[in-house]
Amino acid sequence: MDAVKAERYANILPMEELNTPEKRLLPFTIYNNLRTTTPVRYDESRGCWDVFRYEDVHRILKDPATFSSVRKLAERDTILTMDPPRHTQMRALVNKAFTPKVVNDLAPHIASITQELLDAVASKGQMDTVHDLAVPLPVIVIAELLGVPPKDRHLFKEWSDILVKGPDVNTDEAFRQVMMEKAQAMKELNAYFAVILEERRQKPQEDLISLLLEAEVEGQKLTDEELLGFCILLLAAGNETTTNLITNAVRWLTEDQELQKQLQEQPELIPSFVEEVLRYYPPIQAIGRVVMQDVEIQGIPIKAGQQVVSWVAAANRDDNKFPDPDRFIVDRKPNAHLSFGFGTHFCLGAPLARLEGQVVLSHLLQRFHDIEFVSGSELQYIQSPFVFGVKQYPVRFRSVK
């Protein structure tokens, strides 16, 4: 393996099997095939192991001692790129801001933002799901929680898009170009949050940044590096996945008109609908880890230092775990999908993402009927192998008073 490949974060490199826009827009047949034929395989071009079965992905995610989240490429450590015990201490700080009570208390405000966004498009009879609804809602919510101005949301979206971006082709030049874009976005984000941190030091407010400034771990305040890492992670993680959850949910509603009608008649099914969207069209498709000690998966030896990519999108359709996995079952129980990860790195914002998804869909289905994709519109996939979503999703609808 050459030096450039050895430094690559395999999670952002596209696999050769997904070599057309059509396959990137709907990759699940390919994941099913890989899970069946090569459940654990080494990809020479990306310099990593790919794992596709539920039991193996589950095992990797619950064992941070063997499969580490630490990344040499990371500009700074965040809770995403830490292992216990430091990860546990840092996560406990932010958990205070995401307790079940805090999250549930946000429901009326999320409903109010949703209504405003729907008001803006109701009379037009059409909208772009991404631009008009799925992007602004989570960005406004996370911006308000952090204590940053929601008016800057176009900047947040641009920055977070770049942070999840991967090269479209697996070449050194494409990789370098993406890494330069990421470095520039991080520089701009650092400068942006440095100003806000200084403002909060002078004048604390009731927001997450003020809470983090006050917080201590083992008697020590967080460093500026740690504070900036938290802010950037929460901003990007707080909007990107929820945007794709909402868009993917609307996408499925347009693909199954009967289900759309059923949910309008039985809104109590919306929470389980959201869970099945997470399983069936997961916003995050893959999670990367680094092996800390020689290990075997399915009898195949993997050496310390090698990268392993766990394909959540394939695990979520493993028929050893989910009966009839390629069928969308709105009230599927149990539904132990891995779309929020598992174990110590289980997504911190999962309760908030679920709540946002449920609130948005209940209001959308109440107010708009006969939601359908605007045929002839060209879909563009998000340029990131570990994200499943589209850049725009235009729909028409009938507005109900």
Evaluate the CA torsion angle 54, 56, 59, 64 in order and state its sign.
negative
Domains of the chain and CATH, by start: 3-382 (1.10.630.10)
Instruction: Report the C-alpha gap between 208 and 231 in whole angstroms.
Output: 9
Q: What is the DSSP letter of 370?
A: E
pLDDT tier, 232 (very low <50, low <70, confident <90, very high otherwise):
confident
Whether 227 shows a pLDDT value over 90: the answer reads: no
Contacts with 252 (C-beta within 8 Å, 6 or more apart), sequence order:
259, 277, 280, 281, 328
Contacts with 379 (C-beta within 8 Å, 6 or more apart), sequence order:
25, 390, 391, 392, 393
Instruction: HSE, CB side, 13 Å, CA atoms: give it for residue 153.
Output: 20
- Its pTM stands at 0.92
Of 31-35, 49-53, 149-153, 257-261, the one with minimum mean pLDDT is: 149-153
Token output for 373 = 């994709």
Whether 258 shows a pLDDT value over 90: the answer reads: yes
Q: What is the DSSP letter of 21?
A: H
Mean pLDDT of 51-69: 95
Mean pLDDT of 132-158: 89
Position 169, amino acid: V
pLDDT of residue 215: 82
Mean pLDDT of 15-28: 95
Instruction: Report the C-alpha gap between 320 and 134 in whole angstroms.
Output: 33
pLDDT of residue 3: 33
Among 109, 138, 136, 141, which residue's Cα sits nearest to residue 121?
136
CB 317 within 8 A of CB 32: yes
Strand partners, 55: none
pLDDT of residue 91: 74
Q: Chain-wide mean pLDDT for the chain?
A: 90
Beta strands in 303-344 (DSSP E): 307-311
CA distances from 296 to 1, 34, 51, 53, 306 (A): 21, 19, 12, 14, 12
Instruction: Report the C-alpha gap between 214 and 348 in whole angstroms.
Output: 20
Q: Which ranges of 325-374 would DSSP assign to H, the alpha helix?
A: 350-367
pLDDT of residue 196: 93
Token output for 358 = 């449920």
Position with higher pLDDT, 217 vs 170: 170
pLDDT tens by residue, 159-206: 888 888 889 988 989 999 998 998 999 899 999 999 999 999 999 998
